[in-house]
Amino acid sequence: MEKSKFGIIASFISVVALTVLLSLLTTDLLRNSEMSKETNKPLSINATMTIAEIAENNGIKVSSLKEALLIRDDKDLTKTIIEMNLSEESTKAMITKTLNFEAEEASKNFKLIFAKFISWIAFLVLIFRLIRKGKVTTKARKYLLLGSFLLFGVMFGSDPNSMSTITDMVTGYAVNGIFFPPRFIALIIFLFFGFLANKIFCGWACPFGALQDFILRLNRDSKDRKGVFPQYKVSFALSNTVRILFFVVFVLVAFLWGTSIIEVINPFNTFNPAKLTYTGISFILIMLIASLFIYRPWCHFFCPFGLVGWIVEKFSRFKIKVNYSSCVACEECAKACPSQAMTAILKQDQVIPDCFACGTCINACPTKSITFASGKTEEVPKDKFIKKKSAHWNSKLSI
């Protein structure tokens, strides 16, 4: 039975509203510690104060001060900062850095984070096996995507997420001068999935990615081949250029002005609605409405992890592969792929857009010529696609 346009709009509104309401509920019930401690209280320090007085006047633990100012001997607590060969400015900077680090650590619920990572790994192993066996059917895809953003977004919350490992690391360093090792370890884990199996993490385990993907699938026919409302494949040259520029601006603003342009529009706040601002709500709504018509607009146009993941997937062990001996060049896979990726993979273009390992192309192929496999890529026979030239590098929109 084909979907009605009214049904699609109603489903879209229900999914977005329920996601936000349930996230509000779970933030309250499960993740109160996620409301991070702010440490921007100005420090009262002058050159004649002893270290012990600084601790007392600013309500800072002595142990934190000792760590911040590298004090090993308790006798030094009675010295003034001049006697310690420190200036007011450098003392403030060192203390602020340590306090920010401690606040970051205190704001994390490490048990919940550990459970999230274990669930992510188990979920991705399942997805990997299903894609390898070509068993991600249209119906299964919807349930898996729904399960993904409900579990990794609504239940476990927005933090940590693949994008924030990059953005928080840049802003943490640029603004507060801190480098938080657990964040770096998380980034390595996320990138490991990229080296292993293309963008399988983005494709299935990132909650905001899964939410956008789920919304796109709401507006697809029952075979998951094309949109009920028209859907568009945006030129990769355009989306990737915007994504690179956005990343450059983000880094420059963080280092030059000490602020994050992403925080105010952070789409992961969908799963932590208490942090949403009016600008954030408007931006996220635009992204989610656009997701009905364009495949993962946030991922393709803005996400810093999307950009890094796109580079990493070039070195991935498992990828979409085409068996050209059985391929009949019907291009059903390219038509069904929600982006320009399959057109480029099929014709072996030099620039391959992001492939989210969604498996749509595998299901669409009538001759079962597409697999998610490792090993050497078979070369495309000359003249196989001679009539139709791939258009993904052009700046046009195609339905």
Question: How near is the Cβ of 198 to ligand SF4 at its closest, in Å?
Answer: 7
Q: Write the burial class of residue 170 (CB in 10 Å: 0-12 exposed, 13-18 middle, 19+ buried).
A: middle
Compute the radius of gyration of the chain from its Cα atoms. 25
Question: How near is the Cβ of 334 to ligand SF4 at its closest, in Å?
Answer: 8
Q: How many CB atoms lie within 10 A of CB 340?
A: 28
C-beta of residue 397 within 8 angstroms of C-beta of residue 233: yes
Question: How near is the Cβ of 111 to ligand SF4 at its closest, in Å?
Answer: 24
Residue nearest to ligand SF4 (CB): 209
Cβ proximity to ligand SF4, 265 vs 341, nearer residue:
341
Cβ proximity to ligand SF4, 66 vs 296, nearer residue:
296
Question: How near is the Cβ of 68 to ligand SF4 at its closest, in Å?
Answer: 34
- The SS3 of residue 218 is helix
Cβ proximity to ligand SF4, 158 vs 176, nearer residue:
158
Length of the chain: 399
Question: How near is the Cβ of 139 to ligand SF4 at its closest, in Å?
Answer: 17
Question: How near is the Cβ of 15 to ligand SF4 at its closest, in Å?
Answer: 17
Cβ proximity to ligand SF4, 47 vs 397, nearer residue:
397
SS (H, E, C) 135-198: CCCHHHHHHHHHHHHHHHHHHCCCCCCHHHHHHHHHHHHHHHCCCCHHHHHHHHHHHHHHHHHC
Cβ proximity to ligand SF4, 20 vs 60, nearer residue:
20
Residues within the interface to ligand SF4 (CB under 6 A): 162-163, 202, 206, 208-209, 296, 298-299, 303, 305-306, 309, 320, 337, 339, 341-342, 345, 355-361
Cβ proximity to ligand SF4, 65 vs 346, nearer residue:
346
The stretches of the chain forming alpha helices (DSSP H) are 5-30, 51-58, 62-68, 88-106, 110-132, 138-149, 162-171, 181-197, 200, 207-218, 236-257, 278-290, 297-301, 304-312, 332-336, 341-346, 360-364
DSSP for residue 294: B
